Structure formats: structure tokens, C-alpha cells
Structure 1
């Protein structure tokens, strides 16, 4: 396979949910309506394309300064454990995130984890490190890619980490979302953010989803199938897939509270019609940007002040999934299966007819 291909995420004219009047909730978004609106968070992708055989890649979420010596508070929630979130048991046990969070294809997860360990050991200041807990999530892109080829390699991981940046985040068929599909449509990576007020202080929460799950899409209470918007009826097969949801915030939270945020990130998938089937791995990971044990900054918020943050994560995840469906592109995989993105025009016509 050739070198990483240019990101085929979406054409410059592909709308996001908010562009067509489908923004979720009343809370304001950050400047880019993306995970990178949280200060200190960067996102990078390496996209691998060799049609029709390979549509895969890796996505890197890189918090500034995170390391085994400077972990961030984190929590994890498993909605259905049919999947792999490498490193999750240590995160759950210690409430600490030691590395960037990487997302990829199921059978590439182990190579990606090894590459992340190597990258971490190579970082300045980690010369004495003897243990690393790499955090790597995955979705099965075998419907639209040759998953057994395990195309993601160390150089692709390092490229995603090196290319991680702030600002707008590429969505759709890019990085870890290149070969994923959800709710009968082509999906991929989606992101969104919110700026709730907690205890008189505005904070930022951002999410990124790798959408690859079954069910029937619901928008504004109405079910939407591919046939409803003029697309072929997909051979959906079993209600399986996965969704990795990563949330970050600059709110002063501890690991237990972040687990509560992660739990609601998984709950939010029900809003868009997730089936949570037997074969679906539904995981939420949430972390805060203030390092564990850092004395500076405000004290941890009391639990009874967190409701606006819970609303924020529910709304942001719902909108991020919609973004992943709208910004994707049509892909046909090695087995002749095709998935199409959610088309904005026919969708608006459908919702308009429904009032």
C-alpha cells in the first residue's frame, strides 16, 4: 500500500449538523465546535486508502504535556464490552491517563498500542520510565476495509501524533473513521463542543466520536433510514459495531466525576438511535486537562453543580454523531458493500414534510 493518502473526509461544501439547522441544545459551542476547543487538546489523523481493499487509519487525541510522570485525571465507562479499549482497566483503577488517546481499527489496535509505547518512551523527560499504560480504542472497519491486513503501522501512528493540531478537526472518512459505518449510513469521525457555566464559571467540554454502531437513526424524534432519504436499502446484517466516545474538559473534576461524564457520553448514543446490540462495543472515556495533584487552580467542583456539564456532554455527543454521518463520503469496500453518507438536502426535505 502506498503512503498515507490525503484525507478524504468530506468535500469543502459538506455541511455539519449546525450548518443546516440541526445543532443540538441551547448551550453555546466553542470557536470550532470541536474537541480542540478545550485548551491544550490537539487532534491528528493518518488516513490509509487503497481502494477498494483498504479504508482505515488512526486518530490521535493529544493533551498537552500528558505523560506517565504528569498524568491527567480520567474516567472510563463501558456500555457494552464487546470491543477493546486497551489500557482501560488501569484508567478505571487509578483514575489516571498517562498517554495520548489513539483510535484505530480492531486488528490494528495492538500495533498502534506498541507504537504509542515507543513514542512515549522517546519523549524528552521519559528516559527513566519503566511502565507505560497506552490507551487505544478501536472499531471494526471490516465491512469496508480488509481488516485482516492490519494496515496501520508505527509510521502512521507517529505521523498522526506529529500532525496533531488545534483548530478545526477533519471529520467523516478520515483517520480512525475512514472505514466505519453507523445506523445504516457511512459514518466516521465526528466532533462537537459546548461551553456550560459551572458554579459561576464558564468551562469547555469537547467530544470526539468514532461512530460504527447499529440501530436506526433518530433525529428530532423521527426515525430516518437510508430509504427515507433516497438511498439504497443497506444489507444491515446483525445489530453490531462499536462507538468510541472521548470527552475532554477544562473543568476542575476528579476521576470519579469524570467517570460520571463518560457514562453520560455513552447514554447519549441512545438519542440518535443506537441499538447497543450484542456485538457493539460502546465505550466512553473522559479526562480533564488539569494534571493530577496539581495544586494551582480552582478546587474540584461539588457533584451537585455538575448538571450543566452532563447536559453539555449529552448534546455534544448527539451532534458529533450527526456530524460524522453528514461529513462522510460514499465508500465501497473489498466485499462489494457500499455505505453512503447522510445527504443533507433529502434529510431536510424529509424533516420538513414531517413538520
Structure 2
């Protein structure tokens, strides 16, 4: 399918989303916000922890309204490459249920964040007698731009992200858990997208949020692009300590096994963006459902449109994470350049050689 015509080149300083630039991934329509919050009952909160020049970190909370140890949601998890610290993985995989919000942060702060999440959950109404709780916390290594050993993310930052989580538009780029992350040679961060699709005669939404921090060479609409080929200067320093955390939410009535299949597609989608899946990259996806499949889940044979929606959504969310981020100089004077929208559009408009 032909892509729509690209608009005039924007200012290099302006930050955009993929669709603002006419870069459309796939054919399914996005939700109203083109964000994970298009799934009813899903909220997002960020706390950005930045102290120049050496601290660029934070925490991001994906908060389903109904989640709790007494009201767990069906969920699945998939590990593309397991070099990471996804806290709570084994119980989530064993039981197929999510008991807490999903929090994302920096690698060495993940344990502070998990403890703070447990404390916050135990204070929730209905949790007065809870004796066991499985916090789910993912991480990426932001040590390229941030003093990761300082472990700057604290309980107050976690609580702020949880308490301020809201529906509506989601901040992207250098915010929350994406403040210090780098992907595909450029400054990256948080990105989100959504798709609306028909599933067995029912209108369903799939929303994704990514914390992008992985190696490889950027690919957009099938074109391979580097900072140097775009004329954007030197790429961010190479790092094998990457990772990508992906959270998928859907209101489709799926069971845990089917949600694991959805999570698998989310990790597969990174290949479209040029991911290298390197030795040191922890590539994980968590998928949860907000609608109980008590009346019977959708038949497996009907899941094709949802799989495609997640593949397209993740690809767009990664691109949004890059386009929203800004050039950052951090710990040790290392610099990660932003992806310049004007140069990207110029490259896409030039016929390949």
C-alpha cells in the first residue's frame, strides 16, 4: 500500500510524532489519542529524575484501574532475550495474572522501585490482609547518559508516578523511565501508540508503550538510516547494555495463553525497527487484558488482526520515542543525538540508490 504524501519539512528543533509527519505504519486506524490510554481503564504516570549533568533517569507507571491481588487481570509475558531484571516474571508466567501496575525504570533502581510498589499496593483499599504480592517492574540500562550507580529513583518518585497516572495523552521521549535511554544510535525514551481493530465482530483496542533502549540500525518504512547517513552527526556511543521493555494493553477478551501470544508479537515487532537483539539486550513484553474472558476468549483463529495491530503499534511507538526525544549530553560528557525530523523526511523522500 502506498504511503500518503509527506508534508513540508518541519523545523529541525520541533519534536513530532510519526503521524504528524505523514509516516503511517500499517493500515488499521489508531485510537483517538494513538496511545496505550486509548484502552479503557488504563492510565500512565511519569516521574522524571534529572540532575545535570550526570543524572537522567526516572520511573514510568502503567496503571490498569481494576488491577489488584484480589482482582488480578489476565496477562502474559514473553522474553526475546533474557539479559534483564524483569521483576515478577516467574509468577506472572506461572499463573497468567497481573496483580499490580507495571512499572519501568533504570536497571539498578528496579529493586527500589519494586519495594516502593509493594508499599503503595499494601495501602490500597482491599489489601489490608494481603500477605503475598507480586510486583512487576521492568528496566533498561540508562548508564550511558546517567550515573546508574547512584540509583537515583526513590520511593517518592514511584509514588508520584502512581498517584499522578492519568488517562489522556501520554508524554513521550525524555520522560520518566525514558529520560536516559538510547536506541538505534539516537536519543530515545518512552513511546506509545494504539490500534483499533475488529476481532470476531467486536471493536477492540490494542495499546502499546515502549521504553526504548536497544542497539541496531534504524529502519523506517523499509529504509535503513543512521545518524551519519541523515547528516545528523555521530551516533550515540555503542552500548551492548541495552534493552527494550514493551507493555501491551487490550480490551479484547483474551486468556493468559493468548496474551502471551500477543506479547510474543510485540517483541517480534522490534525487528521491523532495526533492532539487533544483541547479547546484552533484555527484550521483554508484558501483555494484559482489561476485559475478563469469563464468557469464553476469542478463538485463536480470529486473533490475526490483533497480532497485526500490535506489530504495527510497537513499530510506531518506537519511532515516536525517537521523534519525541531531544539531544542529551549526560554522564561523562557522552551525547546522544535526537532523530531530526526534517532530515528523516528528506531521506524518505529521496529514492533509494
TM over 0.5: yes
Q: Deviations over 1:137-168 (max 9, x none)?
A: 00000000000000000000000000000000
Cα–Cα, structure 1 residues 12 and 330, in superposed 2: closer, same or farther, change >3 Å?
A: closer
State the secondary structure of the residue aligned to 2:332: coil
After superposition, residues 29-68 of structure 1 pair within 5 angstroms as: 29-68=30-69
- 2:188 maps to 187
Tell me the alpha carbon deviations over residues 29-72 of structure 1, each in whole angstroms, 9 at most, x when there is no partner.
10100000000000000001111110000000000121000000
Could you tell me which residue of structure 2 aligns to residue 141 of structure 1? 142
Alpha-carbon separation, structure 2, partners of 1:354 and 1:75: 41
The residue that corresponds to 1:158 in the other structure is 159
For structure 2, list consecutive stretches of 5 or more residues without a partner in the other structure: 1-11
8 Å CA contact retained: 1:266, 1:282: yes
Q: Partners of 1:127 and 1:270 in 2: how far apart?
A: 44
Length-normalised TM-score, structure 1: 0.94
In structure 1, the residue corresponding to 2:242 is in which secondary structure? strand
| C-alpha RMSD of matched pairs (Å) | 1.4
Aligned counterparts of 1:261 and 1:317: Cα–Cα separation in 2:
11
Summarize the Cα distance change of 1:303–1:171 in structure 2 as closer, same or farther, 3 Å threshold: same
Structure 1 segment 1-355 matched on structure 2, within 5 A: 13-234=14-235, 236-291=237-292, 295=294, 298-354=295-351
Tell me if the contact between 1:29 and 1:193 (Cα under 8 Å) persists in the aligned partners: yes
Structure 2 CA distance for aligned equivalents of residues 130 and 290 of structure 1: 26
User: In 2 relative to 1, CA 264–19 (structure 1 residues): closer, same or farther, beyond 3 Å?
Assistant: same
Post-superposition CA distance 1:213-254 (Å, at most 9, x none): 000001111110001222222353344410000000000000
1:354: how far off?
A: 2.3
Does the 8 A contact of 1:216 with 1:224 survive in 2? yes
Q: Secondary structure at the match of 1:275?
A: coil
Greater mean deviation of Cα atoms: 258-267 or 15-24: 15-24
- The structural deviation recorded for 1:333 is 1.0
Q: Give me the whole-angstrom Cα distance separating, in 1, the residues matched to 2:199 and 2:238.
A: 44
Greater mean deviation of Cα atoms: 132-141 or 239-248 = 239-248
